[in-house]
């Protein structure tokens, strides 16, 4: 067996391995578009384990500008075809050489994967948090109901990036996994990404001032198109006033207007208020994930 850094020469083999195993993993960054956009020489250092030219394991880190600002990386994949400790050890030793500039690397796995969990703990990972993947159908969406002085506004590119950043960064300043602020430039890119939907970012205004936001994107889940809800954020002074429910309904409405029959979102398990909100609006739990972190 040999461990090989993925370059253009082995990119197809690496991508095929990811596609072959993503259904049993957290596939957040293993979709077709994500894999096509890999920047192997910069943002996405990756290695494969080869046995007689067969790929038997793979590891890849996502290290874009946003993550690196928070001195973080996220594992795209860390996997051995046969759950081999030797393969895990050698892949992990290889990828650790890419971690000089970070303080934490995180990895999500489905909660029931005991064999992978045991490998991660043996390698030095620790449990950071739990999260849920929730879904609901979009046949019926309750209307947005706002009191006097409040209104809904659709995001305008080139005009609303600062407002988006202010709300998102303020609301998520202590939210595990989202503490690093985003920039107006990143927001502008977010608004036109391939997963965007028309009029998919919406604000709630209070007397003309943006105080909450929701973004709706598109993705496949089990081969079915879904409206992806998130982020959903409110400034602290406007939380616990029922406005989160109205933002959620605004997002669901955007998904319905774009022709989706289903919606999906993820939420940290410790965010009990959000979990209760989503379930009260018709979402049910599809999967549970464990977030592990490794500190080099």
Q: What gap in Å lies between CA 99 and CA 107, rounded to an integer?
A: 14
What CATH code is assigned to 2-124? 3.40.630.30
Task: Assess contact for 252 and 141: CB atoms under 8 A.
Answer: yes
Task: Assess contact for 172 and 179: CB atoms under 8 A.
Answer: yes
One digit per residue, pLDDT tens: the chain, 296 residues? 999 999 999 999 999 999 999 988 998 999 898 999 899 988 999 999 999 999 999 999 999 999 999 999 999 999 999 999 999 999 999 999 999 999 999 999 999 888 899 999 999 999 999 999 999 999 889 999 999 999 999 999 999 999 999 999 999 998 888 999 999 999 999 999 999 999 999 999 999 999 999 999 999 998 999 999 999 999 999 999 999 999 999 999 999 999 999 999 999 999 999 999 999 999 999 999 999 999 99
Q: What gap in Å lies between CA 246 and CA 279, rounded to an integer?
A: 14
Short-list 245, 240, 243, CA closest to 282 = 245
> Dihedral angle at the C-alpha atoms of 283, 145, 237, 166, nearest 10 degrees?
80
What CATH code is assigned to 135-288? 3.40.630.30
pLDDT at residue 175, rounded to an integer: 87
pLDDT at residue 22, rounded to an integer: 93
pLDDT at residue 139, rounded to an integer: 86
Task: Assess contact for 255 and 197: CB atoms under 8 A.
Answer: yes
Q: What gap in Å lies between CA 236 and CA 218, rounded to an integer?
A: 28
Q: What gap in Å lies between CA 126 and CA 10, rounded to an integer?
A: 31
Q: Give pTM, 2 decimals.
A: 0.90
Q: Indicate the domain borders of the chain.
A: 2-124, 135-288
Short-list 209, 207, 277, CA closest to 243 = 277
3-state secondary structure of 42: coil
Relative to beta strand 262-268, strand 224-234 is: parallel
pLDDT at residue 67, rounded to an integer: 94
Domains 2-124 and 135-288 share a fold: yes
Task: Assess contact for 92 and 49: CB atoms under 8 A.
Answer: no
pLDDT at residue 140, rounded to an integer: 87
Backbone angles phi, psi at 268, to 5 degrees: -65, 135
Walk across the sheet containing 196-206 and list its strands: 2-5, 46-51, 54-62, 72-80, 104-110, 284-294, 126-137, 262-268, 224-234, 209-221, 196-206, 150-154
User: Prior bond to 231 cis, omega within 30?
Assistant: yes
pLDDT at residue 112, rounded to an integer: 87
């Amino acid at each position: 067996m040999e461990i090989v850094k993925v370059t253009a020469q082995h990119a197809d083999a690496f991508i095929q391995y990811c596609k072959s195993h993503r259904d049993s993993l957290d596939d957040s960054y293993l979709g077709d578009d994500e894999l096509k956009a890999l920047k192997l020489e910069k943002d996405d250092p990756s290695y494969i384990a080869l046995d007689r030219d067969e790929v038997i394991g793979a590891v890849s880190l996502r290290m874009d500008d946003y993550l690196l600002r928070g001195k973080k990386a996220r594992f795209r994949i860390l996997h051995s075809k046969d759950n081999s400790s030797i393969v895990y050890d050698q892949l992990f030793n290889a990828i650790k050489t890419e971690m000089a500039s970070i303080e934490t690397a995180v990895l999500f796995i489905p909660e029931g994967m005991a064999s992978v969990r045991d490998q991660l703990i043996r390698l030095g990972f620790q449990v950071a948090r739990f999260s849920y993947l929730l879904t609901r159908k979009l046949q019926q969406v309750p209307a947005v109901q706002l009191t006097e002085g409040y209104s809904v506004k659709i995001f305008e590119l080139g005009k609303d990036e600062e407002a988006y950043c202010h709300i998102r960064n303020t609301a998520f300043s202590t939210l595990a996994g989202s503490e690093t602020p985003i920039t107006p430039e990143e927001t502008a890119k977010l608004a036109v990404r391939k997963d965007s939907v028309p009029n998919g970012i919406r604000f709630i205004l209070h007397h003309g001032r943006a105080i909450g936001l929701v973004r709706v994107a598109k993705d496949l889940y089990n081969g079915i198109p879904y409206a992806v809800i998130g982020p959903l954020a409110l400034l602290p002074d406007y939380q616990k006033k029922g406005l989160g429910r109205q933002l959620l309904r605004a997002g669901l409405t955007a998904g319905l207007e774009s022709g989706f029959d289903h919606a999906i979102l993820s939420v940290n398990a410790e965010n009990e208020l959000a979990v209760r909100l989503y379930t009260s609006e018709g979402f049910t739990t599809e999967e549970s994930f464990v977030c592990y972190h490794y500190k080099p």
